[in-house]
Amino acid sequence: MKSRFPFVFAGLRTCAAAGLLAVTPCFAAAAPPAPVKRADAFLGIHFDFHAGKDCTNVGQRTTPEMVALVMDKVRPDYIQIDCKGHPGYSSYPTKAGNPVPGFVGDPLRVWRDATRARGVALFMHYSGVWDGHAVATHPEWAARKPDGSPDARATSVFGPYVDQLMIPQLRELAGDYRVNGAWVDGDCWGAMLDYGDKPVGLFKAKTGATAAPKKAGEPLWREWVDFNREGYRQYLRHYVDELKKSHPDFELISNWAFSDHMPEPVSARVAALSGDFAPDDSVNSARFSGRCLEDQGLAWDLMSWSFSRKTRRQKPVVQLMQEAAVVLALGGGYQAYFKQDRDGAIRPAEMDTMAEVAKFCRQYQAFCHKSKAVPQVALLYSTAGHYYSSPRLFHPSGSDGIGVLRQALTSLLDHQYAVQVASEHHLKGKMSQWPLIVVPGWGYLEEDFRNELAAYANGGGRLLLIGPGPGKLFERELAAAAAAKNSSVAAAPKVDEDFAAAVRQCFPQPLVEVTGSSHVDISPRRLGGQLMVHLVNTAGPHANAPAEGISAIPPVGPLNVAVRLPRAPRSVTAQPGNTKLPATWAAGRVTVTLPMLELYSILVVEE
């Protein structure tokens, strides 16, 4: 009979010939390939189903073949799967946490064994601050509302939950299951003002207050909000540091930490930054969120929802490709979220959609991943200004500048300026890198930073203010610029065509100019020292997509693309496809024509 494993017998024969025992093979089993570290990961896929007490047969359809199907079709660098969602129930037979009522086998072991054999990293979707089961069974772990009652979902970042449940369970996942890490959801954005005895007592001891304020306008309100923000930061650093001590290779990512929700310097040893942008109007959401992550100094990715929250229907392939293109053009990695059924099984037919999206992404990887923006326009997302007026701890809403910022970003991109969303820690000491800084709506800036912005304008930079708040902050500088009849400091009352005209006056010669369509986002970037111009077709009814989703994106073009350079380039090549474009050189600009832009093209400029 012909052997199914001829290499085994060949190995044994070779050993016998060498005078060794015939049962001793001359080879060792090959070690599984090493997974890609999250800092280098480009493409992933996310599954979750927020398991609950209704889940009585989790694992019934979870098989090695099911996991292999995902890997074969999508070929991801990593997979994220459900572990503990916001209800607080775990979808694997945990001994450290709170398992769902019923399992068939150990589904997490199936996922881990299959992914490990193929060198695919496995991350857990783990709800952090939000844990409904924990606060129901341990109300003393809950964050407290102003009336003293426990919140139904949020645990207290000042309480014992993190040490008694979260850290032990993460260690179980890292040690017993050897998963690669966790994507912690419901964390910074789930944290809330906590009126529990411990945080209020600590606040009173720190400030001398007799009570914690209940609403904006009361004494020490901003100090109270900032105290709670710092409480979250300490909680985040605590669980990350504790896992580093016990399992140094376990990689932790906290959803939306140090992002548009939390616009501040990274202060925890997280492996990367990540977030799931809005499931509807997703292109505009990704345009904003990506720009808040790209300069934070860590690897980052953004996640599409593969379905609409409004309709619950699956998005067409081209809609997800366009969302991915926005992220890739900013240097980030990409992943998409697909739901698991209530028994934890995936939906195989949906993997055909992700397979096409993955193939689309991979063709750009060599030209986009980890690229860095060439400074053009900096749009100020003031950490101080946002935290000063937003009642939320960590969320991109509620402050006097955030709405104006979003409007200004859309206008700037639609008028085809290359924009970075920058906070104080990006700009301090480096403002001269940007030809134009836009200050949108902020009514409060710290004095030293305000003065540095004024000095930037006096030193040759251009400062454009939007709205009465910035106008009042820079009243002296506006008056001086008007008297001198220069545009070092200019103002627009709101985001409209007058604002667009003011941008043109302040910044008449951007690095890249495109004519032929207004539906093109421009991002000049460098990768490996090479200049690349990323062009994304943003056409489509994003804010009001039809119920069936956006099934077609109209191509745009021909596009004339002009790039200002110190000398004529050797060539301009459109990627992917390696298509050399005929170029003309005149007046310090190289101009090429891109016959058509379907979704995403990268012009590589050989200087």
Q: What is the pLDDT of residues 280-299, one digit of tens each?
A: 999 999 999 999 999 999 99
- Distance from C-alpha of 382 to C-alpha of 300, rounded to nearest angstrom: 21
Same domain, 244 and 359: yes
Same domain, 321 and 469: no
Same domain, 102 and 129: yes
Three-class HEC string of 309-368: CCCCCECCHHHHHHHHHHHHCCCCEEEEEEECCCCCCCCCCHHHHHHHHHHHHHCCHHHH
Q: What is the CATH number of the domain that holds 323?
A: 3.20.20.80
Tens-place pLDDT, residues 11-67: 333 333 444 444 444 455 678 899 999 999 999 999 999 999 999 999 999 999 999
Tens-place pLDDT, residues 497-531: 999 999 999 999 999 999 999 999 999 999 999 99
Confidence of residue 606 (pLDDT cuts 50, 70, 90): very high
Q: What is the CATH number of the domain that holds 448?
A: 3.40.50
Same domain, 324 and 466: no
Q: Look at residue 591 and tell me if it is in a domain.
A: yes
Tens-place pLDDT, residues 408-451: 999 999 999 999 999 999 999 999 999 999 999 999 999 999 99
Please tell me whether residue 111 adopts helix, strand or coil conformation: helix
Domain span including residue 5: 1-30
Q: Look at residue 271 and tell me if it is in a domain.
A: yes
Question: pLDDT value at position 19?
Answer: 42
Q: For the chain, how many structural domains are there in total?
A: 4
Q: What is the overall mean pLDDT for the chain? A: 95
Q: Which helix (H) or strand (E) holds 420?
A: strand 419-422
Question: pLDDT value at position 28?
Answer: 57
pTM of this structure: 0.94
199 prior amide bond cis, ω within 30:
no
Q: Look at residue 267 and tell me if it is in a domain.
A: yes
Same domain, 116 and 255: yes
Tens-place pLDDT, residues 571-592: 999 999 999 999 999 999 999 9
Q: Measure the N-to-C terminal CA separation of the chain; round to a whole number of Å.
A: 65
Question: pLDDT value at position 29?
Answer: 66
Report the sign of the C-alpha dihedral through residues 139, 140, 145, 147, in that order. positive
Partner residues linked to 602 by β-bridges: 534, 575
Report the sign of the C-alpha dihedral through residues 476, 478, 482, 487, in that order. positive
Question: pLDDT value at position 394?
Answer: 98
Same domain, 338 and 189: yes
Ramachandran quadrant class, 460 (left: phi over 0; alpha: psi -120 to 50; beta: rest) = left
Same domain, 520 and 426: no
Average pLDDT score over residue span 137-166: 98
Q: Look at residue 37 and tell me if it is in a domain.
A: no
Q: Look at residue 405 and tell me if it is in a domain.
A: yes
* Token duo for residue 582: 């005929």
Among 44, 77, 107, CA closest to 306:
44
